[in-house]
Amino acid sequence: MAVCILLLFLSIATLSQTEPYKLTVEKIMRDPKWIGSSPSAPQWNADGRTLFFNWNPDQATSDSSYFISTDNKTPVKASVVQKQNFVSANSRVFNLERSAYVYHKNGDIFYTEIKTDKTKKVTETLDVETNPQFSFGDSKIVYTRSQNLYAWTIVTGETQQLTNLKAGAVTSATSAPATTTTTNSSTSQQEAWLKKDQLQYFEVLRSRKEKKDKGDAYTKDTKKKELRSIALEDKILQGLNISPDGRFISYRLNKPVTSNKITIVPNYVTESGFTTDIPARTKVGETTVSSEFFIYDGKKIQCSLLKQIQYRASMTSRNI
């Protein structure tokens, strides 16, 4: 018993002589460097044989991309080229037979045949193309560009614009004002008779009219097909999609509801040292967004409003 008491006093004396560990704010803000970095955001490559993830074993400024494969379980730091060629398995969209898939990367659309393992670049433009999917019975690849749908035929490589959604109000083409003249029926009949008589006796005029009529008929037959123009006005386009058979196109138009009552939240931590105001959402229960859901029938060239919804601010989505 005496020995135990002696050992206890010696332990207390030893602890009192050592300096206690200090956990400072600077030490805490160095997280996670002082506790170590764990791998995060794992993603399989499209080939299914390589797993990419973020890691920082060297305690660098930020994480880097590493990968392991089914053949090599040792993590290897990915090069710039390997990161550029990486295609996430989750970004692939397969056709019904799962014989091919499409994906978008760096603003372009790609098509890959699984059997041959060959990839074709569907688009290579300065615009951003996204949301690729198979449609028209898997014969075409439909994607979004500049808030409109385009279709790329797999066999021929032809591209077709499917929608003509435009921001703002669509205005009809301006034409020159027609001059109004007051004429009676007898004058009109006289002018028609003179025109017919003129063409009957002058071969040159009759030949010119025949050429003009043939030219107008050819232009009418070969006139480029115009898509129906749909105005977005001051609304925001979302959820532009097409049915698997390519007939129906659905989309949603959102319009923020403006309110004179704004919740102001002060921001005290600023670079300038002065307090600034942060515009926040309105009070709970007020309407924030008005949404309309449309469906477009390509065969009937008709657009119908299916549903109109008003979203209200809630406690779970309030952002201050």
Indicate whether 107 and 152 sit together in one domain: yes
DSSP code of 31?
Answer: T
Q: What is the pLDDT of residue 174?
A: 37
Whether residue 175 lies inside any domain: the answer is: no
276-306 pLDDT per residue, tens? 888 766 666 566 778 888 988 888 776 776 6
Q: Is 79 found in the same domain as 51?
A: yes
Same domain, 239 and 287: yes
What's the pLDDT score for residue 104? 94
A 10 A CB-CB count for 46 gives: 19
Residue 263 inside a domain? The answer is yes
Q: What are the DSSP E strand ranges found in the chain?
A: 40-44, 50-55, 64-69, 76-77, 93-94, 100-105, 108-113, 118-121, 129-135, 140-145, 148-153, 159-161, 164-166, 229-231, 236-242, 248-256, 263-267, 276-280, 287-297, 302-312
Instruction: Choose the final residue of a domain: 49, 69, 90.
Output: 90
Is 202 within the bounds of a domain? no
pLDDT of residue 148: 95
**Residue with token string 């050429």:** 211
Which amino acid is it at 254? N
pLDDT-derived band at 198 (thresholds 50, 70, 90) equals low
- Among the candidates 73, 90, 107, a domain finishes at 90
**Does 53 reside within a domain?**
yes
Per-residue pLDDT tens over the stretch 306-317: 666 665 544 333
253 shares its domain with 297: yes
State pLDDT tens for residues 156-171.
999 999 999 988 775 5
Residues 117, 64 share a domain: no
My answer on whether 137 and 154 are in the same domain is yes
User: How many Å apart are CA 298 and CA 295, to the nearest integer?
Assistant: 10
Q: In this structure, are 240 and 264 located in the same domain?
A: yes
Give the domain range for residue 126: 92-162
Residue 214 belongs to a domain: no
Nearest residue to 243 via CA among 162, 156, 155? 162
Please identify, among 162, 191, 214, the residue that sits at the C-terminal boundary of a domain: 162
Does one domain contain both 265 and 277? yes
Residues 98 and 139 both lie in one domain: yes
Q: Would you say residue 40 lies in a domain?
A: yes
For the cut 60, the answer to whether the pLDDT of residue 114 exceeds it is yes
Task: Please state the rounded mean pLDDT for residues 176-203.
Answer: 60
Confirm whether 135 is domain-assigned.
Answer: yes
For residues 95 and 218, the model is more confident at: 95
- The C-alpha atoms of residue 320 and residue 301 are separated, in whole angstroms, by 44
> Where residue 320 falls among pLDDT bands split at 50, 70, 90?
very low
Q: Is the pLDDT of residue 23 over 90?
A: no
pLDDT for the residue numbered 188: 75
Task: State pLDDT tens for residues 146-156.
Answer: 999 999 999 99
Q: Is the pLDDT of residue 205 over 70?
A: no
Q: What is the mean pLDDT of the chain?
A: 78
| Same domain membership, residue 107 and residue 118 | yes
Q: How many domains does the chain have?
A: 3
Residue with tokens 């979203």, as numbered in its chain: 311
> How much is the pTM?
0.63
Residue 134 forms part of a structural domain = yes
106 and 74: one domain? no
Question: Do 77 and 111 lie in a common domain?
Answer: no
Mind listing the pLDDT tens digit for each residue in 221-246? 555 566 788 888 888 899 999 999 99
pLDDT of residue 32: 60
